Amino acid sequence: MEKVYLDNAATTQVRQSVIEKMQDALLNFYGNPSSTHSFGRSAKTAVESARKIIAKSLNAQASEIIFTSGGTEADNMVLRCAVRDLGVKTIITSRIEHHAVLHTVEDLEKESNIIVKYVDLDENGSPVLSHLEFLLKENDSKKLVSLMHVNNEIGNKIDIDAFCAVCKENDALMHSDTVQSIGHYSWDVQKTQIDFLTAAAHKFHGPKGIGFVFIRKNSGLKPFISGGSQERGFRAGTESFHNIVGLEEAFVNAYNNLEEEAFYVKGLKKYFIDTISKEIPGVKFNGLSGDLEKSTYTLVNTCLPVSQDKALMLLFHLDIKGIACSKGSACQSGSDMGSHVLTQVLSKEDLAKPSVRFSFSKYNTKEEIDYTISVLKEFIEK
């Protein structure tokens, strides 16, 4: 077993059909989508077809889908434009959001003098709905709530319909970073009264550097990047055409095969939980990641019974053995700081132990899980 990739929450392997479609786009559809000649018109038609297909799956209108460079840009777009254009004076979020949200909110607090409130978390790290309701009623300022549907480190899922309903009842806007959700769960934006959601293709076997934001019609948001008239005038700049068609192909495959692939990946997660619990006594599952119903089926975050002096060598040892996993978000890999998510969830005792996130995809196997757990067991016992 030379290479085992269990870091799918960071990024996923690109589907072969996505690569082929992108290659075809680069070779044969190289016209600028804004050009009026036949080369440009062909590219423009493909861009708009991708927009319509994504919108239809979400039960949205095509005009409500704006392509971006990924989830981080999309989160920034929503948060910054809501403050600039919609009179938002209070942003309510949680302390376990992705840094694309947390750092943007912190910047807005300094730059625009907005009020920032943080929803309480329960013992498992999930936002408390009743506390959100309290914060929404606290004052009369225009509010935006930003809470991720699926946490990227511990996998907790929120009841997105309930949170959106509370926001609507209190005349607040609702944004959700759904980067770990789109491509893995079905969405209906007419049923779920969300105002903004964001997605990234590389989390569901598409290319990096492309994503989209859903912005509900008549939101009042104004252009985020000025220049040309691309993306309905909202995001200027020549469209990344090959990435857009790659996103479309990955998105279509994700939803055409959703039930079958979700069943398979959920089976892998259950097998991982059952096997590691048997082979490594004392292992814990952070947040709700050990609960197959209350967390995403794509990842599990483990707190391992390893002494503090050995903990620093764990990820290095796994890497030497060809196993790719993560101690937290890949976006934090250049930092020596611990996970801001686990800091909110774990006791001081457990924070001193190594926590490792293992995340799964359709390309993983039970044999890879057996190998990974055997390597972990050997490291812990020696």
Query: Confidence band (pLDDT; 50, 70, 90) for 331?
Result: very low
Is-contact 252 51, C-beta < 8 A? no
Residue 332's pLDDT is 44
111-158 pLDDT per residue, tens: 999 999 999 999 999 999 999 999 999 999 999 999 999 999 999 999
Tokens of 85: 């254009």
Structural domain count of the chain: 2
Cα 153 from Cα 10, distance rounded (Å) = 10
Q: How far is CA 215 from CA 97, 206, 232, in A?
A: 20, 22, 12
- Same domain for 287 and 243, yes or no, is no
Residue 88's pLDDT is 98
Residue 328's pLDDT is 57
Location of structure tokens 């039930």: 259
- Same domain for 218 and 268, yes or no, is no
- Same domain for 90 and 41, yes or no, is yes
343-370 pLDDT per residue, tens: 999 999 999 899 999 999 999 999 999 9
- Same domain for 285 and 334, yes or no, is yes
Q: Is the pLDDT of residue 189 over 80?
A: yes
Q: Residue range 80-103: average pLDDT?
A: 98
**Is 331 annotated in the active site?**
yes
256, 279, 306 — which closes off a domain?
A: 256
- Same domain for 330 and 276, yes or no, is yes
Residue from 173, 75, 118 nearest 340 by CA: 118
- Same domain for 250 and 264, yes or no, is no
- Same domain for 128 and 221, yes or no, is yes
Cα 36 from Cα 39, distance rounded (Å) = 8
Residue 334's pLDDT is 45
| Helices and strands, counts by H and E, the chain | 13, 12
Q: Residue range 79-100: average pLDDT?
A: 98
CATH of the domain at 231: 3.40.640.10
CATH of the domain at 362: 3.90.1150.10
Residue 120's pLDDT is 98
Location of structure tokens 């948001």: 221
Query: Confidence band (pLDDT; 50, 70, 90) for 287?
Result: very high
Query: Confidence band (pLDDT; 50, 70, 90) for 312?
Result: confident
256, 289, 310 — which closes off a domain?
A: 256
Residue 360's pLDDT is 98
- Same domain for 82 and 120, yes or no, is yes
Tokens of 355: 């926590």
Residue 333's pLDDT is 47
3-class SS letters over 143-194:
EEEECCCECCCCCEECCHHHHHHHHHHCCCEEEEECCCCECCECCCCCCCCC
Residue 2's pLDDT is 80
- Same domain for 186 and 246, yes or no, is yes
Choice among 81, 303, 325, 331 that is catalytic: 331
232, 256, 280 — which closes off a domain?
A: 256
29-68 pLDDT per residue, tens: 999 999 999 999 999 999 999 999 999 999 999 999 999 9
Q: Is the pLDDT of residue 203 over 60?
A: yes
380: amino acid identity, one letter: I
- What is the extent of the structural domain holding 192? 16-256
Location of structure tokens 């943080």: 118
Assessment of whether the complete model's pTM goes beyond 0.75: yes
Mean pLDDT score across all residues of the chain? 95
Q: In the chain, what percentage of residues exceed pLDDT 70? A: 97
- Same domain for 273 and 367, yes or no, is yes
The residues near 364 (Cβ < 8 Å, ≥ 6 apart) are 4, 5, 6, 8, 265, 268
- Same domain for 250 and 263, yes or no, is no
Residue from 62, 44, 102, 33 nearest 212 by CA: 62
3-class SS letters over 194-223:
CCEEEEEHHHCCCCCCCEEEEECCCCCCCC
- Same domain for 335 and 234, yes or no, is no
